[in-house]
Amino acid sequence: MPLSIRLQLSVMMFLQYFIWGSWYVTMGAYLDVTQGFSAIEVGTAYGALSIAAMISPFFVGMVADRFFATERVMGVLHLVGGVLLYLAAQLDSFATFYPCLLAYTLCYTPTMALSNSLSFQQMADPGKQFPTVRVLGTFGWIASNLLVSQLGIDTQASIFHVGAAVSVALGIYSFFLPHTPPKAKGTQASFREILGLDALKLMKNVSFAVLVISSMLICIPLSFYYAQTSQFLVATGISNAAATLSLGQAMEALFLLLMPLFFVQLGVKKMMLFGMISWVIRYLLFAFGGPDEAIWMLYAGILLHGICYDFFFVTGQIYVDKRAPAHLRSSAQGMITFATYGLGMLIGTWFSGVVVEAFTADELRDWTAIWLVPAGASAVVFLVFLLLFKEKESKAVAAQVA
């Protein structure tokens, strides 16, 4: 891959995740502390991204795989998304804020799969080249968190203003990315193909099916981390929640760079198992840590993010790319997005709100009980994946990456 293209893709990833990190990390604290929304409303707001993720695979299967160049689709979506994110910052009732946020996520979520697909199509060896490009997305997330904390806007509507500005910038920049035409352009499209349903045939492979189902299930407890951690840190007296959480992204960046080595040494199955067990450990650290107990446990839980995210989600994305035929790669990436950020997190964001409400009395929350719920759920998924994912097939993919 030429250096010029690597730089273009790296900047794309930086801006892509800068946008998301600018508002997603502290939105819970903003909605809870500033707007006074209930825990269920906060969970529902986070679920907007999940609903969008369930719709985006159909959009990606139709647009990116068949009709329009990927970079142009990304450009339009980010420009429209910037406007919607700005409007969301002006709304102070849940009845108006939520529909606007949902409309924005319908624009943003497809770009997650599209940015991956665009990158993979420019790479000769995605297993070795993708982590070094994707790591810039992590740096973008960190940079946005640090900026939000530096500006002191963790609980203000300005988090959406920052995201809107960068969204417009990426929208313009996207039109200058490497031209990535649809692979199936000019062929007759069936209704099944337009909806991206052909990617479902990949589920006939046992390991692929287990990965998709496990990814969906692990995102149910995962949603607790995204929706509740910023509020948890504020409640425990830790200032600058966004900057504190960016420590996890710093570890994510480190492990992204080390991923090619881990592929060779561990293989796909062991990497994903390490990722899942790290979620269990993280939630236990949150449950029993705190300023009055052992605050180091909170920081240790945050620092585990590198293994939690990279070893499961990035490994899964690369596995999907290796397993899917060239003409179905965008649809396959969309399907994994549907399973994870879509169905799994939709259930999880709603469930996290219910759990928080259940363990809240007189405005005081029992955080120990709250975090034990996702810890137990993550442990169950770990056991399912351990028993059903085939080691033989995971080693074959690891050999391709190596």
How far is the C-alpha of 98 from the C-alpha of 76, rounded, in Å? 22
Q: What angle do CA 350, 373, 310 make, to 5 degrees?
A: 80
Q: What is the pLDDT of residues 25-56, one digit of tens each?
A: 889 889 988 898 988 898 889 889 888 878 87
Of residues 241 and 57, more confidence is placed in 241
How far is the C-alpha of 310 from the C-alpha of 259, rounded, in Å? 8
For the ranges 216-230, 263-277, 339-353, 373-387, the maximum mean pLDDT occurs at 373-387
Report residue 167's pLDDT band, with 50, 70 and 90 as the boundaries: very high
Other CB atoms within a 10 A radius of the CB of residue 296 amount to 10
Give the DSSP per-residue string, 334-377: HHHHIIIIIIIHHHHHHHHHHHHHHTEETTEE-HHHHHHHHHHH
Decide if pLDDT at 136 tops 60.
yes
Decide if pLDDT at 174 tops 60.
yes
How far is the C-alpha of 193 from the C-alpha of 182, rounded, in Å? 13
| 292 neighbors 314 (Cβ within 8 angstroms) | no
For the ranges 6-15, 210-219, 380-389, the maximum mean pLDDT occurs at 6-15
Which residues, in sequence order, are CB contacts of 239 under 8 Å at separation 6+?
none
Q: Whole-number mean pLDDT of the chain?
A: 84
Write the single-letter amino acid at 216: M
How far is the C-alpha of 309 from the C-alpha of 256, rounded, in Å? 10
Q: What is the pLDDT of residue 168?
A: 97
How far is the C-alpha of 241 from the C-alpha of 231, rounded, in Å? 8
Report residue 57's pLDDT band, with 50, 70 and 90 as the boundaries: low
Which residues, in sequence order, are CB contacts of 353 under 8 Å at separation 6+?
38, 39, 40, 41, 42, 43, 44, 227
Q: Which of 306, 287, 310 is nearest to 373 (CA)?
A: 287
Residue ranges of the domains in the chain? Answer: 3-177+197-401
How far is the C-alpha of 97 from the C-alpha of 377, rounded, in Å? 31
Q: What is the pLDDT of residue 191?
A: 57
Q: What is the pLDDT of residue 181?
A: 79
Q: What is the pLDDT of residues 294-326, one digit of tens each?
A: 788 989 999 998 888 888 887 887 777 777 777
% the chain with pLDDT above 90: 30
Q: What is the pLDDT of residue 78?
A: 96
Write the single-letter amino acid at 296: W
Decide if pLDDT at 396 tops 60.
no
Decide if pLDDT at 270 tops 80.
yes
CATH code 3.40.47.10 for 3-177+197-401: no
Query: 399 is written with which tokens?
Result: 């050999």
Decide if pLDDT at 402 tops 60.
no
Q: What is the pLDDT of residues 368-384, one digit of tens each?
A: 999 999 999 999 999 98
Q: What is the mean pLDDT of residues 125-146?
A: 85
- Of 93-97, 228-232, 240-244, 248-252, where does mean pLDDT reach its minimum? 240-244
Q: What is the pLDDT of residues 71-93, one digit of tens each?
A: 898 999 999 999 999 999 999 89
Element (H, E) at 248: helix 241-288
Q: What is the pLDDT of residues 330-372, one digit of tens each?
A: 677 767 777 887 888 889 988 988 998 899 887 788 889 999 9
Q: What is the pLDDT of residues 103-130, one digit of tens each?
A: 999 999 889 878 988 898 888 887 678 8
Q: What angle do CA 379, 381, 382 make, to 5 degrees?
A: 60
Give the DSSP per-residue string, 272-337: HHHHHHHHHHHHHHHHH-STTS-HHHHHHHHHTHIIIIIIIIIHHHHHHHHHS-GGGHHHHHHHHH
Query: 6 is written with which tokens?
Result: 């690597």
